[in-house]
Structure 1
């Protein structure tokens, strides 16, 4: 029992010392870092109207995010506090305008900027507090041991007594009072230093975590994307039903009627029966072709068998415009993600062929492993440009399709071209 109690006291003492050292280091490093990030952010954003900020802001805000992510890491490792990042993905190759305003439209960016002044004030105090609780009692003990003669006497005597907390130290008796106060403060530090250190990270989480309003907005977006997915699925089912009814089903019905006629003509008019057999064979070939096209429109066999990279290569081979495909995928995404990406690429390519007037198309697929994984697809053409995401456009439908998987769509298409459409879907590869 005694050994367990001694072990507990020793463990708490080690925790108190660790909290003090880490808090002191964090306060000394984070204060200049927060001041620098906040100052550079304000200056860079203020320079956006004259164009300089369009170049500097993405770099500055990326630095702010790196600083915040470092603090999230320390919160998890030192304080056991999880603060998940909630940044919206951005196209890697987006132009400065798109990247700047994409970051400024992200609520997580403004949470970071609000957190910086909190971190350099209340955050600095809460980080420094454990060190103060642990180190300040040492001064009281030093005063009681004789340091009071230096601090309260000699050249400093004209300034009156030396104050330690609320104890005026002017002689040995009052110095012993300072030592007693230091002992009380050390007991307080032993009890509360670790809790005070964790308070710093809880404050960080309170500012950096999404608010209830932002979570409600997230729920609203997910509800809309789910509704869009249901509407898209219903429309797809109606299209399949219409294609079956007007295409393969009609041909199969005609084949049945031809076979009935052939049965009656076999003895009476063999030549006519032979002609109808040839017609029925052609109808069966046409029906099979339509069924294959229908199946390919639902889920292409090459996508199921060979994966997204080969499926996109097969798409490119059928284009009337010369195209180049670059694929860097180390594995396969889940089937719904592959399907969404495939049909999004198919629609972008269809739009490029129909409307861009391009004579060359480049398609790039690759996967970034960081941050849980991101599938990024870029389709570039050298057409006339002018493409934009708007109501009624095919790009708006692609954006809704990707939104079902938390994906994003970015379009860079100045007048005169080129047009670059970037699609990103968070996912991991098997």
Structure 2
């Protein structure tokens, strides 16, 4: 038990030493660079340096959030606003990125945290190693080191004890031992206190949560409008396909039947020929109707669920596609439909643009989230932009509060990750 407590205290002391060093060095550096870069915005230079430095500040704060959770079980949410899709590149995009980061309240909370971290954060963290190391100096004084220091004219203090004799040196040793005992019990709490101090500044406030909720409502409203527009366009497509396809064939078949009725007695051979043509038209109309229904909601999706529907889709592709599905049940029909057509669109994009030789599809459900990843070994360079197929996927997922992430460096590979919050039956 004693060894376990000693080990825990020693680990906390090491972490406290690390935190005190990085709080002093890292936070000061980032705070000074941030202030200077923001000030240089007036000169134009800061428009290009500020996003880079603030991105570094965010990574620094996110690292501290991770350490808080791992070392002290202190959970600090990440409150940063996401950049809108289709953000422009070049100088204009850099200016937009700079303005978006400066308008984010979390940015200013990060800067406040840097200021507190290099002062209060340093002081709170340094106590953990100090309690484990300072006791040793009390014993060093008690073992006789106090005397040459005193004879040389030094007025040595240990804590609140003025060491001028062996008696006061022994008192210093007793105080050091007491500090060691305190450190054994208090060090984990000291480190936790350091992270609790960070959480007061890094965690989103109530007003920030309200703003984030308002942004989410705006996003859902926008995606709802996109969904309404998409459904209206889909209805127009169905109407057009019916008018130009099955309806035209049915009209032609009706006309052929009328002609057959008129000439069945006069020219039976010609009537027989027209009957064969009418039968062919009916078969083609039935095929087109089946294709149309399959495009609205594939039968395999309704009957066997998302996993088998994606596997069936992969079998029809001209590129070797491997599908891995881990689903313990079925999502609601609208979610399955959205996920299926999102995967279909992602696969279509990969086939048309990636130049890939192989595609992998991973479908699984965890933590209340349906996660789908479509990966190809193509040339890369895919991005979510206005008018692209990926933008359509993003709008489709947004209807269900889902998100889309694309990783596609030049040279590949490309990974399109989709997430939709849902529960399985």
The TM-score with structure 1 as length reference comes to 0.63
For residue 25 of structure 1, report the CA deviation from its aligned partner.
2.8
Structure 2 equivalent of residue 420 of structure 1: none
Distance (whole Å) between structure 2 residues aligned to residue 261 and residue 380 of structure 1:
47
Larger deviation: 235-244 or 57-66? 235-244
Distance (whole Å) between structure 1 residues aligned to residue 88 and residue 225 of structure 2:
32
Q: Quick check: 1:122 aligned with 2:150?
A: no
Structure 1 equivalent of residue 134 of structure 2: 136
Structure 2 equivalent of residue 16 of structure 1: 9
Q: What SS does the aligned partner of 1:156 have?
A: coil
Query: Could you list the per-position Cα deviations for residues 148-206 of structure 1 after superposition, in whole angstroms to 9, with x for gaps in the alignment?
Result: 3344453135xxxx443333333333333333332322222121112102222233334
For residue 50 of structure 1, report the CA deviation from its aligned partner.
2.3
Q: What SS does the aligned partner of 1:331 have?
A: strand
CA contact (8 A) 2:17 2:126 kept: yes
Larger deviation: 116-125 or 177-186? 177-186
Q: What SS does the aligned partner of 2:403 have?
A: coil
Distance (whole Å) between structure 1 residues aligned to residue 101 and residue 359 of structure 2:
29
**Residues 43 and 170 of structure 1: is their aligned pair in 2 closer, same or farther, counting only changes over 3 Å?**
same
In the TM superposition, what are the counterparts of 1:312-323 in structure 2 within 5 Å? 312=349
CA contact (8 A) 2:124 2:190 kept: yes
Give ranges in structure 1 of 5+ residues lacking alignment: 1-7, 317-323, 341-362, 367-374, 382-394, 410-423
Distance (whole Å) between structure 1 residues aligned to residue 87 and residue 356 of structure 2:
16
**Residues 249 and 275 of structure 1: is their aligned pair in 2 closer, same or farther, counting only changes over 3 Å?**
closer
For residue 333 of structure 1, report the CA deviation from its aligned partner.
6.3
Structure 1 equivalent of residue 264 of structure 2: 267
In the TM superposition, what are the counterparts of 1:353-372 in structure 2 within 5 Å? none
Q: Quick check: 1:200 aligned with 2:229?
A: no
Give ranges in structure 2 of 5+ residues lacking alignment: 299-309, 318-343, 365-369, 407-414, 420-425
For residue 338 of structure 1, report the CA deviation from its aligned partner.
8.5
CA contact (8 A) 1:134 1:186 kept: yes
Distance (whole Å) between structure 2 residues aligned to residue 209 and residue 287 of structure 1:
60
Larger deviation: 124-133 or 243-252? 243-252
In the TM superposition, what are the counterparts of 1:20-419 in structure 2 within 5 Å? 20-83=13-76, 85=78, 87=80, 88=82, 94-95=89-90, 96-156=94-154, 162-230=156-224, 232-241=226-235, 244=238, 247=243, 250-251=247-248, 254=251, 257-258=254-255, 261=258, 264-265=261-262, 267-268=264-265, 270=267, 292=291, 305-306=316-317, 308=345, 311-312=348-349, 331-332=360-361, 376-377=383-384, 401=396, 403=398, 404-407=401-404
Q: What SS does the aligned partner of 2:121 have?
A: helix
Query: Could you list the per-position Cα deviations for residues 213-247 of structure 1 after superposition, in whole angstroms to 9, with x for gaps in the alignment?
Result: 33333334444444554554455455545554562
For residue 133 of structure 1, report the CA deviation from its aligned partner.
1.9
Cα RMSD for the two superposed structures: 4.8
Larger deviation: 62-71 or 300-309? 300-309
Distance (whole Å) between structure 1 residues aligned to residue 183 and residue 372 of structure 2:
56
Q: What SS does the aligned partner of 1:47 have?
A: helix
For residue 57 of structure 1, report the CA deviation from its aligned partner.
2.0
CA contact (8 A) 1:406 1:425 kept: no
For residue 36 of structure 1, report the CA deviation from its aligned partner.
0.7
Distance (whole Å) between structure 2 residues aligned to residue 365 and residue 282 of structure 1:
45
**Residues 234 and 102 of structure 1: is their aligned pair in 2 closer, same or farther, counting only changes over 3 Å?**
closer
Distance (whole Å) between structure 2 residues aligned to residue 242 and residue 427 of structure 1:
27
Number of aligned residue pairs: give it.
355
Distance (whole Å) between structure 2 residues aligned to residue 280 and residue 228 of structure 1:
48
**Residues 45 and 140 of structure 1: is their aligned pair in 2 closer, same or farther, counting only changes over 3 Å?**
same
Larger deviation: 228-237 or 12-21? 228-237
**Residues 129 and 297 of structure 1: is their aligned pair in 2 closer, same or farther, counting only changes over 3 Å?**
same
Structure 2 equivalent of residue 319 of structure 1: none
